[in-house]
Structure formats: C-alpha cells, structure tokens
Structure 1
Amino acid sequence: MPETLVIPAELAWPFAIALSWLSGELIHRWSGLPRISVYGLVGFLLAQAFPAALASDGSSAVTMLANLAFGLILFEFGYRINLHWLRVNPWIAASGLAESAATFGLVYWISQSTGMPSMTSLLLASLAMSTSPAGVLRVINEKNSAGQVTERLLHLVAINCVLAVFVFKVIVGFWVFQTSGSLSQAVSLSLIELLASAALGALFGMLVPAALRRLGKLSQDGTVAFALGVVLLVALAHASDLSPVLATLTFGLTARHRRVAFSRTERNFGGLGELLTVLLFVFAVSTLEWDRVVAGATLGAVLLLARFVVKTAAVALFAHVSGISWRKGALTGIALSPMSVFVVLMLEQTKYMGIVLVDELAALAAMTLFMEVLGPIITQRALVWAKETPSNKES
C-alpha cells in the first residue's frame, strides 16, 4: 500500500466497518462462510494498511463501543444459560471444568517447554482456556442452530469463560504485585472484584425486569430496556474497575431466571446490535500487528492445535455419562474453537494499569488472528455435522 495513501482518522472507522460488512455479506452469500470470519480478515488487512488511522487506546470511543457490543452479546448469551439443566445433569459442568483445566495445564506445559517465563506462560494458559461467546453465539444465530450440541456448547462456553476470567485476574494481580509492589492493586484484581462484578450484574438482572413489570410493557420494550441496561452496566463496570464480562453475563443469566418471557426481544438486539457486532470483530484484529503475528506464528499454531485436541478429547470423554454419543461430544468440543474477541477485550481491560500484555505474548497475537478467521468456520462446520442447522433456510 503506498505510503502517500492516507485516510483521515474520523473517516477510517466508518469506512472499515462499511467495507467489512459489505465483504461479509457478499462472501457469505457466495461461499456460506461465517460473516464474522470475513469481518476479521478484512479488518486485519485494513489495520495493517492504515495502522495510524485505525489505532485506538483504552479510553477511545471505539474501544467503549466494542465493549458495549461485547456486553450486548454476553447478555444474550447469559439469557440462554439454564442453571437448572446443569443441576439436573452435573456431568456437563464436570466436562467444562475438565476441559478448561486440561487446556490450561497443556498450554502452560508447552509454553514452559519453549523457555517462556512462568508468568507469561500462566497468562497464555489462562486465556487459552476461554472460548469467545461472541464468535459462538454469532454462528449459532446465523445458522439458526438448535439441539443438544448447540445447548451444551453454550453452557460449556459460559463455564470456561468464567473460569478464564477468574484465573486471568488472579495471575494479573500477582503480575501487578511483583512489578509495582502495590498490594492494593493486586487485591483489586482478586476474588472480591469478581464477586462485585457478578453482584452488580445480578442487581441489574432483578431491577430491569422489575421495572418492565411495573411499566406493564414486557412484550413491547424488552429489547430497548435490556440494551439500555447493558449500556449502563458496561459503563459502571469500567468506572468501578470491575469486570464487564462477568457483569453482563450475570445480568443475562439473572434476567432469564426471573421467569419473564420477552417475546419482542430481538435476536442480536436488532440492527444496532448487528452494526456493533461488525465493529467488535474489526476492532478485535485492529489491535494486532503483522510483525508480532509472524513472530508468534509457529508457537501459536502449536498451542492452537494442542488446545483444539484437548478440548475435543475432554468433552468427548464425558459424552456418554452426560447423555450423548461420543460423536456429539467430540463435535461439541470441536465447536469450542473461537477465542479471539474474548482474548482481545480481556487484554484491553488491563491497559488502564499500564500493562501491555500483547507485547509479551507474540504467540497470542498469532492465535488471535488464526481463531478470528478459522474459529467461526470450525464452529459452523461442527454444528452442520451435528445436523442442528436447518438445511432449508438461508442464514
């Protein structure tokens, strides 16, 4: 790209979002590939071509909108989690704990074997545990997927994301304590922070349905009310240095279990949610640099393969005792591939403390790019192979 080609910063993001959306629509219609994979690929190419124009810091409007988009997805994700199902069939929760722990252990061991420092290996292993709710839910909605694999996938993603947030926060707390000597900063990233985040989300999950009941407009105002709740919750979580991931996930989970049916709530929060989703997936790759991706490509590919194998094997191992076939268990594990958006936003949330962890984790940059493009495709194929996507519909 010629160095003389310049796009003003105020035009860069609207241009990137529009081009990514158009590319996603055209390529999806032509090939059937998930739109979000195309958003990520186009966004990465644009970020490399115009790095200054698409740069954003932790306090920028684009970063805030990306966190809001992720919050909307997490709310919808939490709204689909049924805790009663986990109580009836505890083997599902057991498989989630097992695959998360096995992933952490294997990734840590491989990272240590390459000579990576212990703290860096721990951070990498904690993030590798996670699966991106944004990638999984978007593919499920796009393919209109429903069935045993789909429901188990949603619950397993919720489990390993909560575990990843907890372990990541604990490790970052030790990192801050070791580098700054500030015990107060380390404590702020402890279990107290996570409990406060969940409590804040639960509070919103009780207040918003109560307000809708009071207004008597449950069926008409569900989408707007919940969207406004997420906006306020994300803003409060950031202002209070809490975890917007746990807060919004708990918000959706609590709202579901208030036993209120919101028939008019739109999937993906309607057109605005669709637009913010494009921004989210473009933003996720705009933080990556080509040189760092290349530097970490080999180790990143090895770690992704290890992560893929261990998640698939661990979920398949619990398949029969949890009531499904080995094949469906393996397909559920395969569908846990996406991780990019969750990882990027977790790293962005550490920048306010002056910690730029991506600089320490070149392999993570490569993993993020690979899974931004390949993860949704793998999930889509797993759901198709499980025969849980209606073949007579255009998604």
Structure 2
Amino acid sequence: FKMVCGGGLAIMPREAITVREFVSLDEYLKVSEAVIRIFNAADMLRKNRAMARIKVLIDRIGVDRFLEMVDDELAQPWAQRDFSPERLLFLDNEEERAPARRDSYAQPGDDAEAFTQFVASNVKAQKQQGFSTVQVKITRGDLTPAQFHGIADLMREYCGGNARTTVQQNMVLRWVRDESLYEVYSRLVALDLAESGAETVRDVVSCPGTDSCKLGITSSMGLNRAIQERVTDLALDDPQVSKLHIKMSGCPNSCGQHHLGNIGFHGAAMKVDGHQLPAYHAFIGGGYEEGNGKVRIGTQLKLRLPAKRTPDAVQRWLELYQQGRENGEEFNAFFDRIGKEPFEEAVRDLTIPGDFSDDNREMFIDWTKFELYVLERGEGECAV
C-alpha cells in the first residue's frame, strides 16, 4: 500500500502527505499505529478540541519532522512484535455468492432507449467477465423505507447480496450478470430509482444542512434540489460539461466535500437592512481522480451569493466554460488558464441581494423553507 495521512477538508483543507510510498501487508498496521501514537502524544493539540487533528500537528512541526517522528516510533520496542493482519482479516468471497446464469431473461421493449441511456451512464463492466456493476443514482442521498426494502430484494436476487455506497451518495449493485441488466433496470424503474446520469453534472451532492444538522447554516439539501432542477432543465448534452461534479455543504465543515467539486459551495449568511438572508461561498476547480488518489482543492472566489441566486451562478459558469474553452479543454484546465476573476465578474450582479421588501421577500427565505431566514447554530463535533 501507499500510506498517506494528515489530509482533510473543512476550513483548513489539506492534501494528505505521503508517509510511505510502499508498505507491505505485514507492515501497514505497524506504521498506522506509529502515526496514532504520535498524534496521541501531541499534548499541544489538547488545548482546543477543534484543533485536535493530525493535519494541524503537521502544519505546526513540518512534514520532515513528522516523518522523522514516525521513524523514531518504529524503532521503539512496541514495534518489534508481529503485525501480520491475517488473524484480523475477514475475507468475503463475493464471487462465490454471485448469481448463477438462468436459461432466459427479460428483454427491453418500448423502453429500450431509456434503458440504453441508463446503461451508458450507470453501468460499468466488472473485471470478472460476464458481470457488471449498476450504480443507482439516489437523488440527494434520500431513500424511502420502501426503496430500501426494494434495493435489498434486488441485492438478494441479482447481486448475491453485494452492494456498496459511494461518496456521490449513490449505491452500487455488484455482481450483476450482464444478461440480467434489463431486469434490474425494470425493478429500479418500479422503485423510482432508474434515473440515468450517475456521476454526472446532474448527480449533485450535498450534506443535510439545516434539515437535520445543528451546525448547518443553510439548507444545502434545498439548494441541491434547485441546482439539479436547473441543470436538468438546461438539457445539456455537452460531454465535457456532463462529467463535472457540483457539491455543497451547509457550513464550512465540508461534509458535502464542496472543496472537491469542480463547482462547490458552503453555507454562509448575509445581512441587509438588519435582516439576515442565506448565502453561499463559492469554490471553483476542485476535483479528484479515481484510481490514483490525486485530489485538487477548489479555489474560493471573493464573493458571497444569496442562496436563491446560486443556481443562476451555476448556469452562468457553465455557459462561461462552454463559450470560452479551447478544443477539448477540461473545466479545471479552463479555470487554470483564465483565472478566477472572469468567474467572479460573470456573477458580480448576482451578489447584490437587494433591499428587504415585500417584492424581494423570497430572497430572505431559504430553499424549501417558508419563514424568514434566521441563523441558528448549535454545538457539534465538527472541527477545522
């Protein structure tokens, strides 16, 4: 394994440092314990619970000193015992439970076009020949009890009981036989879970925000709905735009991983004429690459957007990219080339909320809410 530590988001986003370029299976628990022991002994971090993070320790003492401390720990007597993980491992043979092939399967009919679109965006071939994974796009990460039970039935019948959740708030059904893809799709249609576009610009991610979190500043779930509806209404068939990720959090703590979206937002508040209104800070150019562990933290723009105007900002930034990119230029590369100023100028007029009045009352009410916005926060465990 390659071992890294000290990464994190929130108000101090940091990319993890490399502790070891390669650690064998028999050694990774030992190196992990060394890092934990160093962190546990860092009394300087105990003065403020919000600062009790490995990334803070690395910031204070430096990467080189931290790596020296890891080497010193590994030379201690505790590190000389056997750290082989074999006795701790639970090896689940998923392939053994994979469904057997049947004699016949249902085939597409009038829904063939919709099924083809679903396969193109939500289905990927597994390494094991004859099997695929099916990604179920779960809007805003919300499932009803009936949908949960329906997915469980699908897992038992078509996946050998295997599924995974994803950072995109979706579910991936594994070990689906290629011949049964249409049957799985049909069952998802019945559950209202057969929407195509998994991991595309329409697959918007958010934390619960003020819907359920004491630390929430804004209704990030409500903004998620508004942006997803706007992007869907735009009917974008641009493959370069389609691959973008939009993420948002209801506060700076980044549970929605807004730093890692090509376009990201975190909740804030504004005040006009003594009245508060929900707003968002914006980040551009974040991202991550599957398979190689590379991440890129988005750049914060120098502006705040009223919550009700944030979907307009997303639309303008997508148009800015479409109109100004060079041939084949990715969104983040486009941002690197032109800088953040054009993105700021494209939405400058949207940052002015207007006066508090009956005609402008909606600006002072958060998405999916019905009363005037008031910032209320409680205590929580989130930190920097």
Which one has the bigger strand percentage?
A: 2
TM-score range, shorter chain: under 0.3
Q: Which has the higher contact order (CA 8 A, sep 6+)?
A: 1
The two structures have a TM-score, normalised by structure 2, of 0.21
Larger Rg: 2
Which one has the bigger helix percentage?
A: 1
